[in-house]
Amino acid sequence: MFLALNEIRRALVRFSLLAVTIGLLVFLILFQQTLQSGLITSFVGAIQHQSAPVLVYSVDGLRNLEGSVILPDVEKDIRAVDGVGVAGRIGQGTFSVHAGGKTTSAAIIGFEDPRVGAPTTLASGRMPDAEGEVVALESAADQGFGLGEMVRVEPGGTELRIVGQASEIGLHASPTLFTTYGTLEHVVAASNPQARGIAPAAIGVIPRDGVSDAQVVERIDSAVPDAEALTRADAVASTPGVAQIQQSFRLIFLLYGLVVPLVTGLFFLILTLQKAQSLTLLRAVGATAGALIWSLLIQVVVVMVVGIGLAVAMYTPLASRRLGGLPLRFQTGAVVFWAVALFVLGVLSALVSMRRVLRIEPIEATTGAGVTA
């Protein structure tokens, strides 16, 4: 311990630069992780945080609310499937709305039964229970979607009152409103007088007691050829665009995850080579190889702990802000995972340096050979 800390004090700038470098790399990993989560939530948060554990799309709907249309006969067949406990219509449309003095595009989702399709992350206010009432995406409050605000749909002029706000219910990275199915039908009729009602985009399903989500999905797929049932998690993962986002970020994480141990390993390898004669001399005067390895391990641990701590300190204030229109959130699980994974990789990266220390022969102090390759 004394040897390790004393060496850090003598080369404080060198070790500090390594810790700062590791801190910046870990910070970038954590920030990218949060950015990925924010992007996915802004695209499919409305699906991920709605109350139906199973969603049923039309088979040609490409697992997308906008592309799916459930015809009356298909809906009837879905409701008749053995194992379906509660079923309710879920409709969706994208409309131009006037909010906060500006006209913008917003997604409006209508649910027939609050048990299947209503938002589950209500942050303030209440759920809509009358026509013209909506729950809005909380992070869009500064765009005119705050609690108590009135939103006007154009064309048609239908006014919607925001009675509640929910977090992480975005759809297609746009302001999102949840309302009753009747209100959605009224909005569609006012916007397009030629429309004859609105077909549901999906049917939300709660399995009957004793039937699992997977079982009811299998039964619906078998009994209704024109429908495709998905659990909520599968519906999120299979939404077009989500897999591509995840794949791109996985490559980024892999690259960053490799850089951290490489930087740490190379630093201590170079350090070991530079002090080869000192290490050989220490072995000659009686220092054991185990003591030198423990000294090296202590230095690695100190550098990794300081670097990761610096990364978390930089990440914390930024994780609760908004990046443009993208809300960010502190990812506790990601912080713990990456902190542990990179700490372990950083320690393992010092194995090459430890191997060189083990190969030191005390007799080399008399020849000046130092550490050999």
Q: For position 76, what pLDDT does the model report?
A: 95
**Total number of residues shown for the chain:** 373
> What average pLDDT does this structure show over 209-227?
95
Mean pLDDT within 184-197: 83
The tens digit of pLDDT for each residue in 314-354 reads 998 887 777 766 777 888 888 999 899 888 888 887 776 66
CA separation for the pair 61, 198 (Å, rounded): 16
Is pLDDT at 246 greater than 90 in this prediction?
no
CB-based contacts of 81-84 (< 8 A; 24+ apart in sequence): 81/216, 81/219, 81/220, 81/223, 81/224, 82/219, 82/223, 83/207, 83/208, 83/211, 83/215, 83/216, 83/219, 84/205, 84/207, 84/208, 84/216, 84/220
97: β partners:
104, 153
Question: Residue 360's pLDDT is what?
Answer: 56
DSSP string, 250-278: HHHHHHHHHHHHHHHHHHHHHHHHHTHHH
The residue written with tokens 């810790």 in the block is 19
pLDDT in tens, 89-136: 999 999 999 998 899 999 999 999 999 999 999 999 999 989 999 999
Can you give the pLDDT at residue 2?
A: 60
